[in-house]
Every structure is written in structure tokens, then in C-alpha cells.
A and B are shown apart, each in its own frame.
Chain A
Amino acid sequence: MTIVTPPPAPASTPALARPPDMTPSSWRTRLILYVPYAWLAAFFLLPFLIVLKLSLSQTELAQPPYSPLFDLSAGFAGLKTFVTGLSLANYAALFSDPIYVLSYLKSLEIAILATAMLLLVGYPIAYGIARASARWQPILIMLVILPFWTSFLIRVYAWINILQHDGLLNRALLALGIVRAPLVWLSTDTAIYIGLVYSYLPFMVLPLYASLQTMDETLLEAAADLGCPRWKAFWSVTFPLSLPGVGAGVLLCFIPVVGEFVVPDLLGGSETMMIGQTLWTEFFANKDWPIASTIAVVLLALLVVPTLLYERLQTRQIERGG
């Protein structure tokens, strides 16, 4: 109820008279934008340019082990020798030798399969956590993140203990009477998959959880109300709405798994060479920096495609207002 009184005179606001782009806050906004750009330029773009330059160089038995070098003292002539010294020969070599192509294909195969397994294992976990009571959710998420408290390398070494001939897994299987003789786990592709699924599970579970957790529970009630049983509602409502999380999880796992080195090196067999291992061998064993750099550049190009796909997915999602 309003008692009749004259309304107070509106307070004058001189601050609003100033044009917005003259305010000091816009300078601050711009500065905040430049800091991450500077960071990306210094720690991503510059190293990449160095690697790109290396990939166009030739290997030399020298220190540093490649040529051409840019001789600053020679001035313009030095620049000319430098530029003419660059060549695409390494890229040609990469595609002429089947060892590299096979290594790339093997990496993609393992990454695709491992990502599919991660999705199959991670989705039910994320779904379960998102549907758990509000009291349990932080505890369960904590448990998913808990392995990060121990070094990744140590955890992979621990898997060697589990998977080796007289390891935990074989002893458990023998004790339970599932197998009569110990199975070979270590140095197989199975071990690589176990290691990858174990290592990358949090990266799959967390984005999936984030998208499932924000989903409005009444949508499922609405689906049920409209005649859709619970299991059917999963495929017609829950899953489509979690697709952004699926996309994020798949790329967060797929991209690093393609270039994975530690898991295949420690758990895999010598006949399986993922591209990360090939790169390591070229760089450290063969001391062929240019070809190693070429492998890295091509790997990056391969990974840019799924990344751009993900970007487009995200833009679409933002347009959808989700």
C-alpha cells in the first residue's frame, strides 16, 4: 500500500555523462585481454615458430645438430643463406618412409578406441555422480580428482606392478579361479588401453559431469509426463543435452592421447610405436631434431582439425544459449 507522498527528486548522476570509452576501466579491460595474448605469444606461438623452423632445417653432426643457422653478423647475406637453406625435404621424407605413416595411423587408432572406451566408462560414472544427492556429489568428484595428487609417472609405474606376470591382476585372477595360468598383460596393446583409460578418465568424467549436473531435472519429469518412460527419456532428452559435455570430454581425451608417450612406452610392447614414441626416438636416440620437429608439426596439423570442430560445436552451443 502506498501512502501519498511526493516522490523524491531523482539523484543526479554525473558519472553517466562521460562517454564509456574514455573511462579508465576500458583501459583495464584491454590490458586484461592483452595479458593472455602475450602469454600465448611467448609460450605457444614463439616455441611453435622455432619448431616450425627446425622442421624446415637439415640434420647436421654439429652443435646445434641442424642447419642452416641464422648468422646475425653476416647481415642481409646471412638472412639470404638462411632462407635458401630451408627446405620441405623432411616433410617429403615423413611420407616416403612407412614407419612414420604407420606410427601416425597406430596413434589415431589407439586414440579413437581409447576415447570410445573412456566415453563408455566415463558416462555412467558422470551420470551417477550428477544424479547422486547434493551431499555426496562433492565427495564423489573429489574421488575422481584424487589420483592427480600423485605423480602421473608413479601411477603408471604402479600399473606395471599390477599388470606384470606375478602382479596383482594375475594373482587375483588365479585366486578367484578365473584363469589357470597367469596371462600376459604387460607389453600388450591391452595394457596401453588400460593405462590410457585409467589416466584420462577424470578428463572425460569432469566435463560430462558438468553438463549433466546443470541439466534441469524437471525436463525428465516433463518427458515422463508426455508418455516417455525413463530409459527412453535418456536417449531423447538427457543424452542430446549432454552432447556439449561429450564433445568436450572426447577432445580433452583424444588430443593428448594421440601424442601420448609415457603410457605406451611403459606399458606397451616394442612392436607398437605411437607417434609420441617415434618422436622421442628421433629426438633423443637418433638426434635428428629436424625430422622430430616435422613429426611434431604434422601432429599439430592433425590435431587442429578436431580442435576446430570442437570450437564450432562450442560456438553453436553459445548461439543456442546453452
Chain B
Amino acid sequence: MAMRQGFAPRAVPGTTPLVRFDAVSKRFGAVPAVDRLSLDIYDREFFALLGPSGCGKTTLLRLLAGFEVPDDGRILLGAEDLASVPPYRRPTNMMFQSYALFPHLTVAGNIAFGLKQDGLAKAELAARVEEMLALVKLQDCATRKPHQLSGGQRQRVALARSLAKRPKVLLLDEPLAALDRKLREETQYELIELQARLGTTFVIVTHDQEEAMTVAHRIGVMDQGRLVQVAAPAQIYEQPASRWVAQFIGDVNVFEGRVVSADEAGIVVAGAGRRFRLAARDDVSPGAHVWIALRPEKIDMSAIAPIETQDNCAEGRVSEIGYLGNVSMYKVRLDDGTEIKVSVANRTSVLERAIGRDDRVWLSWTNAAGVLLTR
């Protein structure tokens, strides 16, 4: 599938990855937090680990930082096996979800902490602290203590502190979770800009799919200690690997069915009392048990019946309207009881909305709209 260059991962085929997880497992008691997971992260990449809470994404990050030791498998940084490297000698730095700023040290003291451990010369240390303060625009706060700062400023100090040692890999554990929505969005773009400027490999852990989609070159979607899909954000959204991924990322309607025919002209799937036409694919054959994922924004809704009422359409009654500002989410109940979510951009004011509750509507979609899933 064609991707816009800007969204393509920076992984260059043939090059060795910067970080390699090789069949890594970590159990807490009997519960596997990370389960035989393999993953390559490349130099200069902004990689997001995305998943619901408890999926093992933070554990994976802590394994890389050295706070957890894998039960099985290897973690490589460049060519070096990290197994015998304690956290304080790893060229990775972590920005903690709680920021973990030292309350007894000033902003400058916090940023200088890691540099002092390296025994940096005084002048160089001062210059680097100054540079970091400028990087996060906190020059005026150098002598303040963490408790004298706002949440957003604390977040910046934590970021500056983790970048001060110029790590090979910066690990960000839910770095924006404590910020309010507006500030979070601003900071996301700042992170993108910062990563592009510094060229440092960033690995971010988040449960927020929008955040992962916004900042990352590639996303690794995790569930129950395993990677379900590793791909660019657009691909994860448009071509989810499974029903679970489709449902985890964004809103989706899923229909179950059986392949009726599959040839160069396209695929026809019958299920739930209707027929779906999809673009051709060579990995499915007639009779296969499949699911079709249909995003709400890819469905057209109209009060008038479409010309072709055979395939890729449905008729029903509007049962609920959720107003979200920029879009409205309609729930349409079909005559057989199936509920389909349709999102409509609010180009005009909702007050002059053409379709209201309990109106009969026709839904239709193109052959390219649905995604065929085999698991």
C-alpha cells in the first residue's frame, strides 16, 4: 500500500537496528508481563509502544532501562548485549511518568545530576545545563525547586534532565499523561520537533492512541505482553492486523462473514444478511471465515436510497446522535437489530441538521472502505 514519505518509518532495510529485543520474556510471579517478544528499533526513530494498561509496555521500557531483568531472551543495544550492564551504565535515559524530580535539588541541580555522575568539568557542566534549560525554555527557573513549578514546567525539567546526558535512546514513560489536554497537544508537537532536531532515538510508552499516532514514526501495538502489530500510524489505522487492533485504535464497525468469491475484480463477502464488496486481495479464498472492519467516517449516510442497493449498503433508523463538536457520531439501528456507527463531519451548524433522531436513513460505502480481517 502506498504511504506518504513523511509517515514512513526511518528503518532502512539491511541496517542493523539500534535496539533489538530478541525473544524477551518477563514474568511477575506466574503472570507474563512480556511474552517472547521480539522487536527492532532503529536509529533516529520515534517509536511508540501503545496498548491498554497492563499490556506490558512499561515493563518493556523498564527492561530496556535496566530496572527489570528479563527472564528469557536478550536485549541488544547496537552490538552490545545489555544483560550485564547495570542501569547506571546504560546509554539510555528515562523520563518517568511521575517525573521523579529530586525535591531537594533546584531545576539546574536536577539537570546537572546525571552530568555530575560523569565527572564533567565545571565549565562544561554549567554550559550543558544552560543549553538544556534553553532547550526547554526554562532559563528563568534555574534556581527554583520542583515544588515551585507548574505541572507543565516540571514536565520540561524532567525532559531536560533525561536529555542532558545525550543518551543514545530516550525512554519516555507516559510523559504527557499528567498534562491537561491543550498542553498535552502542544507538547506532542514540541516532542516531534525536538526529536527531529536532536536525532536521538525516542521510545515512548503511551495508552493514548492519538498521542502515539501524532508523535511516532512507527507504533508497536501491544496486548498481553505480545506485539500485535508494528507499523506506521496510518497503516495501523487503515490496515489493522486483527479485529483487536482495529477495535483498539479508533472506532470501528465489525461484521462477521464468509468469502463468497475472490478474484481480480474483487472479493465478495456474505454475512449478517448482506453482501460486502472489497478490493482484490490474493490471500483469501472462497469459504474463508472473515471479519470486515468498517470505520465510521468511511460510511456515507443519506435520507435517499442509493442507486445500487445490492451490496455495500444498509438501511436503518437513527437511534442516537452524539455531538462531539467537530463531528457527530450517529448510531443507526438496522431492521435486523445490528447497530452501525457513522461519523459525520459537522460542516454546517448542527441546528440545521438534515437527519435527526428516528429518521430512516441509507448507509453506503465504497469497495475501498472496508478492511478484510482474517483474525
A residues near B (Cβ < 8 Å) are 1-4, 216, 218-219, 221-229, 232, 236-237, 240-241, 320-322
Number of A-B contacts (CB under 8 A): 81
Residues on A with C-beta less than 8 A from B89 are 227
- Which has the most chain A C-beta neighbours within 10 Å: B89, B92, B94, B329? B94
Given known pairs A241-B103, A320-B145, the reply for A224 and B87 (CB within 8 Å) is: yes
Q: Across the two chains, which residue of chain B brings its CB closest to A221?
A: B67
> Can you name the residue of chain A whose Cβ is closest to the Cβ of B171?
A225
User: Closest residue of chain B to A232, judged by CB?
Assistant: B117
Q: Is B199 an interface residue (CB 8 A)?
A: no
Are A1 and B93 within 8 A (Cβ)?
no
Instruction: Check A216 against B323 for contact (C-beta < 8 Å).
Output: no
Bound CA span A183–B81, Å: 59
Q: Which one, A222, A229, A236, contacts B96 given CB within 8 A?
A: A222
- Closest-by-CB residue of A relative to B67 is A221
B96, B118, B322: the one contacting A221 at CB < 8 Å is: B96
Task: Given A1-B329, A4-B323, A320-B145, answer yes or no on A227-B100 (Cβ-Cβ < 8 Å).
Answer: no
Q: Nearest Cβ distance between residue A228 and chain B, in whole angstroms?
A: 5
Cβ distance B125 to chain A, nearest Cβ, rounded Å? 13
Q: How far is the CA of A321 from the CA of B89 in the complex (A)?
A: 33
Bound CA span A239–B106, Å: 17
Report Cα–Cα, A2/B89, bound state, in Å. 51
Task: Please determine whether B322 and A216 come into contact, CB atoms closer than 8 angstroms.
Answer: no
Q: How far in angstroms is the closest Cβ of chain A from B122?
A: 17
Cα A228 to Cα B94 with chains together (Å): 13
**Among the listed A221, A229, A322, which residue makes an inter-chain contact with B100, where contact means beta carbons less than 8 Å apart?**
A221
Residues A225 and B102 in contact, CB atoms below 8 Å apart:
no
Contacts of B98 in A (CB 8 A): 216, 218
Within 8 A of A (CB), among B196-212: none
B78 within 8 A of A: no
Of all chain A residues, the one with the shortest Cβ separation from B105 is A240
- Give the size of the chain B interface in residues (CB under 8 angstroms): 33
Inter-chain contact B321/A4, CB cutoff 8 Å: yes
- Can you offer 16 A-B residue contacts whose CB atoms are under 8 A? A1-B329, A2-B323, A3-B323, A4-B350, A221-B87, A222-B100, A224-B66, A224-B87, A225-B65, A225-B67, A225-B114, A227-B88, A232-B117, A237-B102, A241-B104, A322-B103
Contact flag A240-B104 (CB < 8 Å), given A4-B323, A218-B96, A227-B165: yes
Closest to B112 in A: A226
CB distance from A229 to the nearest CB of B (A): 5
Among B88, B100, B162, B321, contact of A228 (Cβ-Cβ < 8 Å): B88
Contacting residues, chain B, for A227 (C-beta < 8 A):
88-89, 114, 117-118, 165
- Cα distance, A28 to B92, chains bound together (Å): 57
B100 touches A216 (CB 8 A): yes
* Per-position binary interface string of chain B over residues 75-103, scored 1 when its CB falls under 8 Å from any chain A CB and 0 otherwise: 00000000000111100111010101111
Contacts A224-B87, A227-B117, A321-B145 known; 17 new A-B pairs at CB < 8 A: A1-B324, A2-B323, A3-B320, A3-B323, A218-B96, A222-B94, A222-B101, A222-B102, A224-B88, A225-B87, A225-B114, A225-B162, A226-B113, A226-B161, A229-B86, A236-B113, A240-B104
CB within 8 Å of A: which B96-155 residues: 96, 98, 100-104, 113-114, 117-118, 145, 147
The 10 A-B pairs with the shortest beta carbon distances in the complex, nearest first, are A226-B114, A1-B322, A227-B117, A321-B147, A222-B100, A218-B100, A224-B87, A224-B88, A240-B104, A225-B94
Q: Note all chain A residues with C-beta closer than 8 A to B103.
A: 241, 320-322
**Are A219 and B145 in contact, CB atoms less than 8 angstroms apart?**
no
Q: How far is the CB of A242 from chain B (nearest CB, A)?
A: 10
Q: Please tell me if the beta carbons of B321 and A3 are within 8 angstroms of each other in the complex.
A: yes
**Among A226, A229, A321, contact of B93 (Cβ-Cβ < 8 Å):** A226
A228 CA / B117 CA spacing, docked (Å): 6
Distance (whole angstroms) from the CB of A94 to the closest CB of chain B: 42
Report how far A2 CA is from B350 CA in the complex, Å.
14
Return chain A residues, CB-CB under 8 Å to B161: 226
Given known contacts A320-B145, A320-B147, A226 and B117 CB-to-CB distance under 8 angstroms: yes
A226 surroundings in chain B (CB, below 8 A): 88, 93, 113-114, 117, 161, 165
Closest to A4 in B: B323
B34-73 interface bits toward A, Cβ cutoff 8 Å, 1 = contact, 0 = none: 0000000000000000000000000000000111000000
